[in-house]
Amino acid sequence: MDHKPSKSAEKLAAMIKKAIDDGKVTATEREKIMMLADEDHVIDPQERRLLGELQNMIDNGSVKVVPD
């Protein structure tokens, strides 16, 4: 079984890393992240982990959701 990250997971990781580095994410960026995660109609374990990490950081305030 192949456990390489999907291309969408790699793009997703880059987008989420940018949000974490910036300490903020716009509503549009957050929507793009969600669309990218579902791009191949499968949210694989790596994508699920990345999304969970971002959500936890939003919940604890280390990443802020800001207006566009």
What is the residue extent of each domain of the chain?
25-68
Q: How far apart are CA 37 and CA 55, in angstroms?
A: 14
Tens of pLDDT, residue by residue over 11-40, are 999 999 999 999 999 999 999 999 998 888
Where residue 4 falls (left for φ over 0; alpha for ψ -120 to 50; beta otherwise) is: beta
- Contact present, 14 and 49 (Cβ < 8 Å): no
Which one has a higher pLDDT value, 4 or 15? 15
Report the percentage of the chain scoring pLDDT > 90: 69
Q: What pLDDT is stored for residue 1 in this prediction?
A: 46
pTM of this structure = 0.83
Give the amino acid at 8.
S
